[in-house]
Structure 1
């Protein structure tokens, strides 16, 4: 086998070994790697983006009640719990992904994490069961889910008075129509992804 062929083979091995897992960046489970389901459309937030986001939120995660609206791999909710959030509720429609999320909670003994296997928009259309201080809105791209999700969060009582809302969206999506009392406080682009943090102002 030639050198270039060996290199290509090694690169393929390395690439596949990185798929199917997430890494906790900081906090009580720092460095832990947890498996995720390899599902079509699953797009875990990259480590680089996640690190930036949690640097933005560094002083605002501890003791918060978190909601991860389209949890997928659970990367954001688990990172928040690792950094001592009080609780995290993860919403995930796919049954196998939701089961893996619960397994990962059990693995790290996150008794303050809860997974609900549900359609997020249907769940948020209900009157809120509790208020959340930190909310992650990272829906599948090009599905038209961002605006109705944010509208339900605001209108149905899911947000605490000064809640922080993280939004991750595709770059080609023009500025979405979000609640008028949400103020943009952080904003960055990475490749084809725009990620932002908003703060809710009481109405």
Structure 2
């Protein structure tokens, strides 16, 4: 697993290895990340200058790819010990400590946002457990999203736009479905 483009281009990230079977770590493949960011660039580059929230962050690859491509700040949310270790290793590899924060929390129970809200939200929950809907609702209710936040939702099936969001695009890459949503109301 490596960073595809930008400042950290070609940097190899820490390996998941055998990981933790209970952690449900399933990093987004390089091929899917490359395609995803190409789609985002076609939308007018919503990453450049953005504050990014990476929910169910796992290895942190999505948030770090965004930083590499011009995001100003990334917060990584995960409650797994293995994920925390991998994210911290990868932040150090990128020398991005000043542009990142790690929040050890259940992404479905975000609570209130105490800092500025986020422009781009990567949502990559364990597949097929309906955790994405819960996490998106928690982030919305807690004030974590800007008024026109872009949601990048990775699941094993296409997702419908919940109330307050509009569908921008959907793509399928093997068993991975990417759904892009835009927040439409406060």
TM-score, length-normalised on structure 2?
A: 0.88
Is 1:115 matched with 2:102?
A: yes
How much is the aligned-residue C-alpha RMSD, in angstroms?
1.6
Is 1:49 matched with 2:32?
A: yes
Equivalent residue number for residue 71 of structure 1: 57
Measured at CA, do residues 68 and 118 of structure 1 come closer, stay the same or move farther in structure 2, by a change above 3 Å?
same
- How far, CA to CA, are the matches of 1:47 and 1:25 in structure 2? 7
Map residues 1-203 of structure 1 onto 2, 5 A cutoff: 22-38=1-17, 39=19, 40=21, 41-58=24-41, 59-110=45-96, 111-122=98-109, 124=110, 126-129=111-114, 130-171=116-157, 175-176=159-160, 178-203=161-186
- How far, CA to CA, are the matches of 2:183 and 2:46 in structure 1? 14
| Superposition misfits of 4+ residues, deviation over 6 angstroms | none
- How far, CA to CA, are the matches of 2:37 and 2:64 in structure 1? 12
Report the CA distance between 1:192 and its aligned residue.
1.7
Gaps of 5+ in 1: 1-21
- The number of residues matched between the two structures is 177
- How far, CA to CA, are the matches of 1:92 and 1:31 in structure 2? 25
Q: For 2:108, what is the secondary structure of its paired residue? A: helix
Report the CA distance between 1:202 and its aligned residue.
2.7
Greater relative contact order, per chain length (Cα 8 Å cut-off, separation 6+) = 2
Q: For 1:63, what is the secondary structure of its paired residue? A: coil
- How far, CA to CA, are the matches of 1:103 and 1:194 in structure 2? 28
Higher CA-based Rg: 1
Which stretch shows the higher mean deviation, 146-155 or 72-81? 146-155
Gaps of 5+ in 2: none
